[in-house]
Structure 1
Amino acid sequence: MALYFNKKYPSVEDLRKKAKKSIPKFAFEYLDGGCNEDVNLIKNTSEIRDVELLPYYLSKHTGSSMKTELFGHTYDAPFGIAPVGLQGLMWPNSPEILAKAAFEHNIPFVLSTVSTSSIERISEITEGKAWFQLYHPAENRLRDDIINRAKEAECPVLVILCDVPTFGFRPRDIRNGLAMPPSMSVKNILQVLGKPNWALNTLKHGQPNFEVLKPYMPKNLDIKQLGKFMDETFSGRLNEEKIKPIRDVWPGKLVLKGVANEADAESAIRLGLDGIIVSNHGGRQLDAGESTIKPLARISEKYGDQITVMMDSGIRSGPDVARTLASGAKFTFMGRSFMYGVSALGKQGGDHTISLLKTELQQVMEQICCERVEDFPKHLISK
């Protein structure tokens, strides 16, 4: 489709600044922050940007194509929209806005278990092309029911999460009393009153809820009860014994998200998974860990011919996508960039952000004379 974006916001950083002005502080800090002191959040992007690309200006360049084949489907670009929790808290109806934009641009959208739209609604919007990311339930009955819903919705890819064995320590969210719905302290109420457009849209679409989990939740939970429900319902600590039955029953492609080392990559291959996403949850779980680009380079070099290696966390722009592909990823995902876009521009935010990222990436490919996405590693300057 034609690429048009609002010239007032020609970068993701412009969208970030606009989003900060458009949504309540507690919502922006949830979106923007990492854990502890944000060390790994900052490293994620800065170390991606240490990667340098080599142009070949005198090559017989005949044009560049972003089209990328992944799991039997040809996408129009080598990036997708990563799963993000509490999306409707940051901007009302944002999962549906982003799913629609992803479908129209022919890129993958991944719905989180703890997002604010249902599997069924997102499947309807995307004609069964959306992926689904599973937080592992504590009970097999609940696990199987959610997986069956994803099957019936014709999700082609199931993503299972391994990097949330505990909830990250996030000082901003603790100060803000963030839950679902957020604690309406006097401070938070004043923040909402200062963002009338956000407040009106929230009234229009209704209070956000965990729509995927709604069938399993008791009604009218207060904040403490909700926290207890989440703790009792989910067991984020994944292991091989928990993955095996999922592999046995899931008919589509199965991807492990949160891989940060070679040992876990080997386990994924041994278990017969189709892909892995090298990720550290956007720097929101372990501040003392590596940035994602470092294990990506090692894992892709060692196992890239045995399993599809992808990456998220720290990627913010088209040039960042190019750097990540050159470092060995077959595909990339972004969460914050798209949420900045929709928080800044509402219904236009999804289309704008995808168009912007496609335009940036196309320019990089043309500039370095890279004709195909799979040729990016030939342009990596090794250090």
Structure 2
Amino acid sequence: MDIKIDSRYPSIDDLRNKARKKIPKFAFEYLDGGCNEDVNLIRNTSELREVQLKPNYLKNHKGSSTKTTLFGIDYDAPFGIAPVGLQGLIWPNSPEILAKAAFEHNIPFILSTVTTTNIERAAELTEGKAWFQLYHPTEDSLRDDIINRAANAECPVLVILCDVPSFGFRPRDIRNGLAMPPKMNLSNILQAFGRPHWSLQTLKHGIPNFANLLPYMPKNLDLNQLGKFMDQTFSGRLNEEKIKPIRDMWKGKLVLKGVASHYDAEQAIRLGLDGIIVSNHGGRQLDAGESTIKPLTSIVKKYGDQIEVMMDSGIRSGVDVARALASGAKFTFMGRSFMYGVSALASKGGNHTISLLKTELQQVMEQVCCEKVSDFPNHLI
């Protein structure tokens, strides 16, 4: 499709600044923050941006293409939309906006278990092309039911999450009442009144809820009971015993997200997974951990010929996508960047953000004379 961007917002930083003005403080801080002191949140992007690329200006260049193939599927760009929880709290109807935009631009959209639209709706909007990310349930019957729903919706890829054995300690969310159980305090209510566009859209689309989990929730569940329900329903810690039955049951591609060590990469290969996403949950889980670019390079070097290695966390621009690809990632994902876009520009935000990232990536490819996405490692300094 034609690439068009709003000239008022020619960078992700511009979208972030606009988003801050459009949505309540509690929603912006939930989106924007990391954990503890935000050390790893900052490190993710700063260390990624130390990666440098080598141009070959006098090379006989035939043109560049951002198209790439992953798991046998052709995509128009080597990046996709990462799963984000409670998207409708950040901007009403945002998962549907982003799913539609991803489909129109032919890039993958990953739906989170704990976001605000369900598997069936995402599949409808993407004609069965949406990926699904599973938070591991405590009960096998619930796990099997959710996986069957994803299979019936024809999701090509199931993503399982390994980096949430505990809730991240996020001081902003605790102050704002967005810990479990969540609560709307007077400050949050006043913030909502100060963002009339957000409030009107929330009224239009309804109070956000965990849409995927509604079939399993007790009726008339109040906020004070929600935390207990989530604790009883999900167990974030994965191990071999939990992964094996999922691998046996799921016939599509299976990806492990949250890999940050050689040990976890080796286990993924041994258990027959098809891909891994090197990630630290956007710096929202372990403040003392490495930035994602650090383990990516060594994991790719040792295991890149055995499993598809992808990356998220810290990527904020098309140039950052180029840096990650040059460092060996086969594909990349972003969460915050797309949520800034939809928060800033509502229904136009998904298309704008994807177009912006494509434009930035194309410019880098032309500049360094990189014809194919797979050639990026040849330009790494």
TM range (shorter): over 0.9
Q: Which residue of 1 aligns with 2:188?
A: 188
Letter in 1 for 2:254: L
Contact 1:260 1:279 in 2 (8 A): yes
Structure 1 residues 341 and 202 mapped into 2: Cα distance closer, same or farther (>3 Å)? same
Q: Which residue of 2 aligns with 1:268?
A: 268
Contact 1:181 1:208 in 2 (8 A): no
**CA shift for structure 1 position 179:** 5.3
d(CA) in 2 for partners of 1:61, 1:209: 50
Contact 2:274 2:307 in 1 (8 A): yes
TM-score by length of structure 2 reads 0.99
**CA shift for structure 1 position 224:** 2.2
Letter in 2 for 1:57: Y
Contact 2:117 2:212 in 1 (8 A): yes
d(CA) in 2 for partners of 1:52, 1:355: 24
d(CA) in 2 for partners of 1:151, 1:142: 14
Letter in 2 for 1:334: M
d(CA) in 1 for partners of 2:39, 2:180: 27
d(CA) in 2 for partners of 1:296, 1:178: 32
d(CA) in 2 for partners of 1:215, 1:80: 28
- Within the alignment, does 1:46 sit opposite 2:58 as a pair? no
Q: Which residue of 2 aligns with 1:176?
A: 176
Q: Which residue of 2 aligns with 1:298?
A: 298
Q: Which residue of 2 aligns with 1:25?
A: 25
Contact 1:181 1:209 in 2 (8 A): no
**CA shift for structure 1 position 184:** 2.0
Describe the superposition over 1:200-223 as per-residue Cα deviations: whole angstroms up to 9, x where unpaired. 000000001100001001122222
Q: Which residue of 2 aligns with 1:131?
A: 131
Letter in 1 for 2:296: L
Q: Which residue of 1 aligns with 2:256?
A: 256
Q: Which residue of 2 aligns with 1:216?
A: 216
Q: Which residue of 2 aligns with 1:141?
A: 141
Structure 1 residues 131 and 107 mapped into 2: Cα distance closer, same or farther (>3 Å)? same
**CA shift for structure 1 position 182:** 4.9
Q: Which residue of 2 aligns with 1:66?
A: 66
Contact 2:64 2:366 in 1 (8 A): yes
Q: Which residue of 1 aligns with 2:113?
A: 113
Describe the superposition over 1:314-345 as per-residue Cα deviations: whole angstroms up to 9, x where unpaired. 00000000000000100000000000000000
Contact 2:181 2:226 in 1 (8 A): no
- Within the alignment, does 1:97 sit opposite 2:97 as a pair? yes
Contact 2:69 2:75 in 1 (8 A): yes
Q: Which residue of 2 aligns with 1:161?
A: 161
Structure 1 residues 15 and 353 mapped into 2: Cα distance closer, same or farther (>3 Å)? same
Q: Which residue of 1 aligns with 2:202?
A: 202
Letter in 2 for 1:263: Y
- Within the alignment, does 1:278 sit opposite 2:263 as a pair? no
Letter in 2 for 1:204: K
d(CA) in 1 for partners of 2:83, 2:162: 14
* Unaligned ranges ≥5, structure 1: none
Describe the superposition over 1:26-83 as per-residue Cα deviations: whole angstroms up to 9, x where unpaired. 0000000000000000000000000000000011100000001001111000000000
Contact 1:27 1:90 in 2 (8 A): yes
Contact 1:338 1:353 in 2 (8 A): yes
Residue identity (%): 80
Letter in 1 for 2:27: A
Q: Which residue of 1 aligns with 2:365?
A: 365
Q: Which residue of 2 aligns with 1:3?
A: 3
Contact 2:181 2:227 in 1 (8 A): no
Structure 1 residues 265 and 293 mapped into 2: Cα distance closer, same or farther (>3 Å)? same
Q: How does 1:229-248 map to 2 (within 5 A)?
A: 229-248=229-248
- Within the alignment, does 1:323 sit opposite 2:323 as a pair? yes
Structure 1 residues 276 and 168 mapped into 2: Cα distance closer, same or farther (>3 Å)? same
Match of 1:213, SS state, is helix
Q: Which residue of 2 aligns with 1:350?
A: 350
Query: RMSD value over aligned CA atoms?
Result: 0.8
**CA shift for structure 1 position 183:** 1.9
**CA shift for structure 1 position 95:** 0.2
d(CA) in 1 for partners of 2:292, 2:111: 21
d(CA) in 2 for partners of 1:18, 1:245: 45
Contact 1:181 1:207 in 2 (8 A): no
TM-score by length of structure 1 reads 0.99
Structure 1 residues 357 and 18 mapped into 2: Cα distance closer, same or farther (>3 Å)? same
* Unaligned ranges ≥5, structure 2: none
